[in-house]
Structure 1
Amino acid sequence: MRYLGELEAAVMQVLWEAVEPVKVREVLEQLDTGRSLAYTTVLTVLDNLHRKGWVQREMDGRAYRYRPTRTREEAAARMLHQVLDVSGDPEVVLTHFATAISDAHAEVLRTALRERG
């Protein structure tokens, strides 16, 4: 899984908020990027997201319906793994992270690590 560009992230936000798989037109109508986008631009972004493994698609008549392959939280966790993998020194990165997070987030981590065993 690769990182998302700005438009890809905006499209994924629409997909994560959708209750059911959505067509390109529905994504386009819900996108709030502050600029006017063409249908073909959103189609290209969704095709790229499909190729990258971020979305699945299924035919519905003559058009595809798209849905995320993982939850927003699962995607964020995978990206964190990638950051650690490319950091050069995951221990240093984790140490910096642990000292910089809020007390509430630190408690969430402590709880998760205790439950892990």
Structure 2
Amino acid sequence: MNAIEELYTIARAQTLIALCSLVPGYWFTVAFIDHIGRFPIQLMGFFFMTVFMFALAIPYHHWTLKPNRIGFVVLYSLTFFFSNFGPNATTFVVPVEIFPARLRSTCHGISAAACG
């Protein structure tokens, strides 16, 4: 396999992980944000991300064995799911609810100009 083929394979795998975990995480946030609340969703997201990262890190040698790769990808995907069903989504929702549109757009323009 040359470098381009390897890059394509990795990009395809990451895209599948994103579609199967990041997108559903956002939809779960949309569905449950008013029922559960913003802060509990953030806490739950951070908690489960921590649990899954420890589950991946502590027995790391176990996950490097060929028969265990699917389990690694599942835990890795669950980490992404709870990243979006938690802190990632709520950090975008809370400012929208707190600040008026004029202030949000002005600050976004300032930060984009400063970073660009």
Using the size of structure 1 for normalisation, the TM-score is 0.26
Using the size of structure 2 for normalisation, the TM-score is 0.26
Looking at secondary structure, tell me which structure has more strand per residue: 1
Say which structure, 1 or 2, has more relative contact order (CA 8 Å, 6+ apart).
2
Looking at secondary structure, tell me which structure has more helix per residue: 2
